[in-house]
Amino acid sequence: MPGKAGFYRTTARLLGAIDRRGLVLRYRYGDRRLLEECVLPALDADPAVVSVLLVGCAWYTRHYPALLPSAEVITMEIDPAKAVFGGARHIVADMAHVDAHIAPASLDAVICNGVLGWGLDHPAAIEAAFAGASRCLRPGGLFLLGWNDIAPRNACPPDTIAALDGLAIADIPGLRTHSVVAQARNRHCYQAWRKPLPA
């Protein structure tokens, strides 16, 4: 663990120095470009969005909070060594316990990208994570899921997750569709839902 944590700290320092020179190194894959150049800016432009949870941190997500300057951004990552890539408010925890760290009905959006099938794998943990995220959303709040629809990453596809049944299908911010395959090579999909408003 100390070796990995030290490597990540060094990486974060080097990337920070590069970022400050105005050159932000990013993944250039289509799915990340769509998220960074379309979805997150559209979410930030929505005046109703003032609090966002980003689940999953890595070197290529370190700048995501800066893409949402109008919102309070909370980051969450299970690996404590990756906290250096999180935002100013960062939670080290498994998403299955999200509602132990975030108050009910306090978030306008939850973005869970590259987590389902990449550590969040067991059906019971997936149900707990998504049900917890739903409880943390305000009515009308957005749940955006990014996942790979290829084996073995798609062992628990969204249409089998009961926790999503209580949410309404919605358009992805910046797009006029509920679902899009953003990267053909790994079948990386984005799908969006909203917590229903009170009747």
Q: Is 47 exposed, middle or buried (0-12, 13-18, 19+ CB in 10 A)?
A: exposed
Q: How confident is the model at residue 199 (pLDDT cuts 50, 70, 90)?
A: confident
List the end-to-end C-alpha distance of the chain, in Å, as a whole number.
49
Could you give the CA distance from residue 87 to residue 74 in angstroms, rounded to a whole number? Answer: 6
Which pLDDT does position 25 carry in this prediction?
Answer: 72
Identify the bridge partners of residue 183 per DSSP, sorted by sequence position. Answer: 188
Sign of CA dihedral 64, 117, 97, 172: positive
Q: How confident is the model at residue 19 (pLDDT cuts 50, 70, 90)?
A: confident
Q: What percent of the chain has pLDDT over 90?
A: 83
Identify the bridge partners of residue 170 per DSSP, sorted by sequence position. Answer: 192
Contact yes or no for 90/110 (Cβ under 8 A): no
Whether residue 45 is predicted with pLDDT greater than 80 in this model: the reply is: yes
Structural domains for the chain: 27-194 (3.40.50.150)
Which pLDDT does position 86 carry in this prediction?
Answer: 96
Tokens found for residue 5? 């944590």
Report how far apart, in Å, the C-alpha atoms of 163 and of each of 112, 122, 166 are: 14, 14, 6
Q: What is the mean pLDDT of the chain?
A: 94
Q: What percent of the chain has pLDDT over 70?
A: 99
pLDDT digits (tens, 9 = 90+) for 178-198: 999 999 989 999 999 999 998
Could you give the CA distance from residue 41 to residue 59 in angstroms, rounded to a whole number? Answer: 20
Could you give the CA distance from residue 175 to residue 75 in angstroms, rounded to a whole number? Answer: 24
- Give the global pTM: 0.93
pLDDT digits (tens, 9 = 90+) for 70-85: 999 999 999 999 999 9
Strands 51-55 and 72-77: parallel
CA contacts within 13 A on the Cβ side of 85: 25
Contact yes or no for 114/143 (Cβ under 8 A): no
Which pLDDT does position 60 carry in this prediction?
Answer: 94
Q: How confident is the model at residue 3 (pLDDT cuts 50, 70, 90)?
A: confident
